[in-house]
């Protein structure tokens, strides 16, 4: 069984472009409209991170089983979820409240979409660009996200604390109670340390301690990257700079979800050649575009590509998955000379795995039996044998050698 697909959640204030970003990433048909609370039920789809494929280095052409290759790049699937929008005070029941956030309990990383042009009111009503402050929006909405997370953790904590005295392994018990939040034991250990609570007995934690732990746990187990959206509109560039100043350069990506959506749609219909993340596109010779379509493409070029280089959308997803989650890409193969599986497919799988994953852990991800009967692995690039503790490197091509399967 390959590693479970990562889940990227899209959150933010209502009417800032979350569903537009979702549609640009997945090309799934979803409702998009310029008023608050268009999305109510979550949208789930598949998007792709983009990475130079190892086939370039190996001089072969690959046959991906999941995802695809275009030119030198491998597009590897991740799950994307778009949910209803928040407004300030959501944790107190304003707008649609924050219960719908429960749909995101399994998310591994969150993309927080902010209207960098300041053209939506706190309640999500459209306004002239520059009317509102995106930094304030980002701060207020993040607070709502943390309030949601705190309320879920408080519930889990109460179940945990009732049984902790009888428990021999309290950390495992806590992890068990928090498993619905897709939280791992190492996340919990880190959060306890980050909250400065490592020397305090669980039974003497105050409600404030639990809340602080919850916020740290959110930061560690569901890191947030900010998508400063609508960079095509006036004033957004300056706000992008301010958002970066406030939240850190590495935590903010300027995007135009609408521009990416227009390009992806036009490419899907065969009007243009466009590869996500590229700085340009080419209108096909035989494309018969209406004046309106031509105008839209010209605006994308002038207001986004010429000014910022790209629409930012691919960079955003890549940063969320590779940087925030610290994942690398490895290619398991069965034939380490031809880089194929048993059916002769070249480089069939590209796995997204955490940095630090060992050869044996990879074997378990491929198949439990392969993990159990693991003997050694072969680094296909060098032909070297490596042991179970070998720590995988980015773009490794690995064959696992195991004892004959027991029947």
Ligand X SMILES: Nc1nc2c(ncn2[C@@H]2O[C@H](COP(=O)(O)OP(=O)(O)OP(=O)(O)O)[C@@H](O)[C@H]2O)c(=O)[nH]1
Figure out which of the listed residues 3, 37, 234, 246 binds ligand X, where binding follows CB under 6 A: 37
State the binding partner of 177 from Mg ion, ligand X, none, CB within 5 to 8 A by kind: none
The 3-state DSSP class for residue 65 equals coil
For ligand X, how many residues bind (rule: CB under 6 A)? Answer: 22
CB 325 within 8 A of CB 108: yes
Q: Which of 11, 15, 138, 329 binds ligand X (CB under 6 A)?
A: 15
Among 16, 78, 87, 252, binds ligand X (CB under 6 A): 16
Please, which residue, 18 or 319, has the CB nearer to ligand X? 18
The H-or-E segment that residue 402 falls in is strand 396-402
* Nearer Cβ to Mg ion (15/340): 15
Buried b (16+ CB within 10 A) or exposed e, 53-83: bbbeebeeebbbeebebeeebbbbbbbbbbb
What angle is formed at CA 238 by the lines to CA 235 and CA 244, rounded to 5 degrees? 135
Nearer to ligand X, 228 or 362 (CB): 228
Minimum Å gap between C-beta 312 and ligand X is 9
Site string for ligand X, 64-93 (x = CB under 6 A): ---------------------x--------
Using the minimum distance from each CB to ligand X, give the nearer residue, 16 or 400.
16
Does residue 39 interact with ligand X by CB under 6 A? yes
Which of 57, 77, 7, 61 has the alpha carbon at shortest distance from 350? 77
Token pair recorded at residue 236? 């957004």
**Dist. CA 79–CA 22, nearest whole Å:** 11
For 46, residues 6+ apart whose C-beta sits below 8 A from its C-beta are 26, 77, 78, 79, 80
Question: Of these, 257, 266, 305, 327, which contacts ligand X (CB under 6 A)?
Answer: 257
Answer yes or no whether residue 33 interacts with ligand X by CB under 6 A. yes
Listed ranges 101-109, 210-218, 226-234, 328-336: which one lies at the site for ligand X (CB under 6 A): 226-234
Instruction: Residue 8: name its binding partner from ligand X, Mg ion, none (Cβ under 5 to 8 Å by kind).
Output: none
Binding site for Mg ion (CB under 5 A): 18-19, 38-39
Query: Please, what is the minimum distance in Å from the beta carbon of residue 45 to ligand X?
Result: 13
Query: How far apart are alpha carbons 72 and 103 in whole angstroms?
Result: 36
Q: Please say whether the beta carbons of 360 and 381 come within 8 A.
A: no
Candidates 179-187, 196-204, 229-237, 246-254 — which segment interacts with ligand X by CB under 6 A?
A: 229-237
Instruction: Residue 43: name its binding partner from ligand X, Mg ion, none (Cβ under 5 to 8 Å by kind).
Output: none
Query: Is 36 a binder of ligand X (CB under 6 A)?
Result: yes
Two tokens, residue 208: 């404030």
34 binds ligand X (CB under 6 A): yes
Burial class (CB in 10 A: 0-12, 13-18, 19+), 45: middle
User: Three-state DSSP class for 33?
Assistant: coil
Would you count residue 232 as binding ligand X (CB under 6 A)?
yes
Residue 286 token pair: 């035989």
Least Å distance, CB 227 to ligand X, is: 10
Q: Under the rule (CB under 6 A), what is the footprint of ligand X?
A: 14-20, 32-34, 36-39, 85, 229-230, 232-233, 256-258
């Amino acid at each position: 069984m390959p590693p479970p697909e990562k889940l990227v959640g899209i959150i933010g204030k209502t009417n800032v472009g979350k569903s537009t970003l979702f549609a640009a990433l997945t090309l799934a048909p979803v409702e998009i409209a310029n008023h608050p609370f268009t999305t109510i039920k979550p949208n789930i789809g598949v998007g792709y991170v983009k990475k130079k494929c190892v086939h370039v280095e190996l001089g072969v052409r690959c046959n991906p089983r999941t995802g695809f290759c275009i030119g030198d790049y491998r597009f590897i699937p991740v799950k994307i979820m778009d949910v209803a929008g928040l407004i300030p005070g959501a944790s107190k029941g304003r707008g649609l409240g924050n219960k719908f956030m429960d749909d995101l309990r399994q998310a591994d990383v969150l993309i927080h979409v902010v209207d960098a042009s300041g053209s939506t009111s706190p309640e999500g009503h459209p306004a002239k660009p520059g009317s509102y402050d995106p930094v304030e929006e980002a701060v207020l909405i993040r607070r709502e996200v943390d309030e949601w997370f705190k309320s879920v953790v408080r519930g889990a904590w109460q179940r945990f604390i009732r049984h902790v005295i009888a428990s021999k392994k309290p950390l495992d018990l806590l992890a068990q109670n928090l498993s619905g939040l897709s939280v791992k034991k190492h996340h919990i250990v880190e959060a306890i340390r980050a909250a400065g609570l490592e020397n305090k007995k669980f039974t003497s934690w105050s409600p404030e301690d639990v809340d602080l732990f919850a916020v740290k746990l959110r930061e560690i187990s569901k890191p947030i990257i900010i998508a400063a959206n609508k960079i095509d509109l006036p004033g957004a560039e300056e706000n992008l700079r301010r958002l970066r100043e406030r939240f850190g350069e590495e935590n903010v990506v300027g995007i135009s979800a609408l521009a990416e959506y227009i390009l992806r749609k036009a490419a899907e219909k065969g009007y243009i050649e466009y590869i996500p993340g590229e700085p340009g596109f080419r209108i096909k010779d035989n494309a018969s575009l209406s004046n309106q379509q031509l105008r839209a493409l010209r605006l994308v070029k002038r207001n986004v590509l010429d000014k910022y280089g790209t629409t930012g959308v691919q960079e955003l997803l890549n940063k969320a998955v590779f940087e925030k989650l610290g994942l690398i890409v490895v290619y398991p193969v069965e034939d380490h000379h031809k880089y194929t599986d048993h059916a002769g497919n070249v480089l069939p799988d590209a796995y997204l795995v955490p940095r630090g994953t060992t050869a044996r852990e990879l074997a378990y991800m491929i198949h439990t039996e392969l993990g159990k009967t693991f003997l050694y692995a072969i680094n296909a690039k060098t032909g070297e044998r490596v042991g179970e503790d070998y720590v995988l490197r980015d773009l490794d091509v690995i064959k696992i050698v195991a004892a004959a399967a027991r029947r």
